Amino acid sequence: MSALFGWIMFLCASSVLLFNLFYIYPLKWKDRKFILGVKSRKEFMEEETADKIDGIVGRTHKQAVIITVVCFVISVLLLLLKGMIMQTFFWMLFIFIAVFAGMIPYISGHSALMSLKKQLGIKSSTGIDLVDLKVSGNIHALKPVRVIIPNVAGFIPVAAALLLDLRLIGFEENRIAGSFLATGVIAVFWVMGLLLTLFAVILDNMKNEVISSDSDVNANYNRAKKKNSADLCVGFIWVNVAYTLVTALNFFFCYSEMLLLGGLLVYMILMSADVFVFIHYDKKIEARYLKETELITDDDECWIAGMFYYNPKDRRMNVEKRAGVGMTVNFAHPGGKIVGIMAMGAIAMAIFSLVWAGLLESTPVSLRIEDSRIICHQLRDEYVIPFDDIASAEYGEDITTHTLIRMAGVGMDTLLKGNFSVDGTNGCKLFLDPRTKEFIKIVTGSGQTYYIGGCDAGETMAVMDAIEQR
């Protein structure tokens, strides 16, 4: 399973690397609206200036190719890592570093182009906003039915999973019924579809861009751009629905974490394909309307490093991105500041989670007897079982012969801890290192079932002997 996870991460990293190389660092810059975060203009097409830009673009592209090749080699080596947590930590660290390293040529090229722009005597017109009153606010490409149908279809497996967990439908031998694991997992992906729908609506309602004094040109350009964005989002939603349906079937008939990860791999492939189709058509649209672009709102100075938009004079919260596709926020807007703080908080939480997961994987479990109680310890006292509460205890020699399904908690190659379904019995509490196969099954007077084990067979057996003596 860890090998499949590695391939999923490899696909994600490879997609990001290829996207950066071919979309952010194009050699054919003359048919692009933005060149390394700087708006293209007719002055750039003059022969002497075009030669200088060719040099800047060519240099940054070579640097990006070198960085991409190095990152690709590292990503191949990461496939050799063993252990889910070890893989997760190094893959996340690698993706952070790769994204940062991949933007270094972009930042350098953006700075060089801004310097060239000053040499040409071109001044930015910060705060000037062009509006075509004839087409303002009435150009939309997203039809409600295109997002309503997939979201309704996506709710069907959510409802079915809920009925399964309520035991209103399903089969007697279904091992996860009643755990609400199926409902939780499937509902998460359905909510993702709703968020994608919200994203599609925001893109469709973004302010129309003015590129020409001809309103028909502006209307056609914005309609084409918004249709391409709508197609991207609708494609995402349908892929999400397909994965939700496949996941539901997995939970109903043959629950397998391997199948879940395999489906996730296909999910990522389809999502990546949808992005590349969007990029292809976006390039065609920009090339088609480049010659008709005569009006330019020059706000280059408001883009920090060509990536982060900060313009107090702009009342919009969302604007089109210059590094990549989609939209970004105006960090001078109150809402943009909130988004920025939330993004930094999410990054901090991700780092903390990885560190915590690393501690869980590397810290051994232990059992000890103290004050007539069995204490299960790992980082802290997880479970405390008084001897007086033990109704029955049974020693087992191989936990791997049992069917374990994690409901809530930790499931690692080195640690099983939390609430699990064991052989179809829900609500069992596990505290085990699966590499040490021996375990003790304890049932308390209140009916709670524990499967516990120490760091080795000797520690587990010592606790079992103490229980028998009591």
Asked if residue 84 is part of any domain, the answer here is no
Asked if residue 381 and residue 290 are part of one domain, the reply reads: no
pLDDT at 254: 73
Asked if residue 391 and residue 274 are part of one domain, the reply reads: no
Asked if residue 332 is part of any domain, the answer here is no
Asked if residue 109 is part of any domain, the answer here is no
Asked if residue 155 is part of any domain, the answer here is yes
Q: Report the sign of the C-alpha dihedral through residues 195, 4, 97, 86, in that order.
A: positive
Contact by Cβ (8 Å): 401, 385? no
Q: Is 287 helix (H, G, I), strand (E, B) or coil?
A: helix
* Dist. CA 313–CA 301, nearest whole Å: 12
302-to-33, 192, 209 alpha-carbon distances in Å: 17, 32, 17
Structural element, H or E, at residue 380: strand 380-386
Asked if residue 271 and residue 162 are part of one domain, the reply reads: yes
pLDDT at 360: 80
Asked if residue 320 is part of any domain, the answer here is no
Among 264, 296, 328, identify where a domain stops.
Answer: 296
Contacts of 216 (CB under 8 A, 6+ apart): none
Q: Report the sign of the C-alpha dihedral through residues 222, 228, 230, 232, in that order.
A: negative
Asked if residue 265 and residue 154 are part of one domain, the reply reads: yes
Range of the domain at 270: 138-296
pLDDT, mean of each 10-residue run, the chain (470 residues): 72 81 82 84 86 92 93 89 73 84 91 89 64 69 92 90 77 64 83 90 81 83 89 92 87 74 81 85 83 74 87 79 78 84 81 76 88 90 91 91 82 86 85 91 92 91 88
Asked if residue 370 and residue 283 are part of one domain, the reply reads: no
Asked if residue 150 and residue 261 are part of one domain, the reply reads: yes
Asked if residue 292 and residue 370 are part of one domain, the reply reads: no
Asked if residue 189 is part of any domain, the answer here is yes
Asked if residue 378 and residue 289 are part of one domain, the reply reads: no
Structural element, H or E, at residue 440: strand 439-444
Among 296, 330, 349, identify where a domain stops.
Answer: 296
Asked if residue 284 and residue 391 are part of one domain, the reply reads: no
Give the tokens for residue 197. 């729908």
Residue 210 CB burial class (10 angstroms; 0-12, 13-18, ≥19): buried
Among 243, 263, 296, identify where a domain stops.
Answer: 296
Contact by Cβ (8 Å): 456, 443? no
Asked if residue 386 is part of any domain, the answer here is yes
148-to-142, 187, 237, 240, 280 alpha-carbon distances in Å: 11, 17, 10, 14, 26
Asked if residue 259 is part of any domain, the answer here is yes
Domain count across the chain? 2
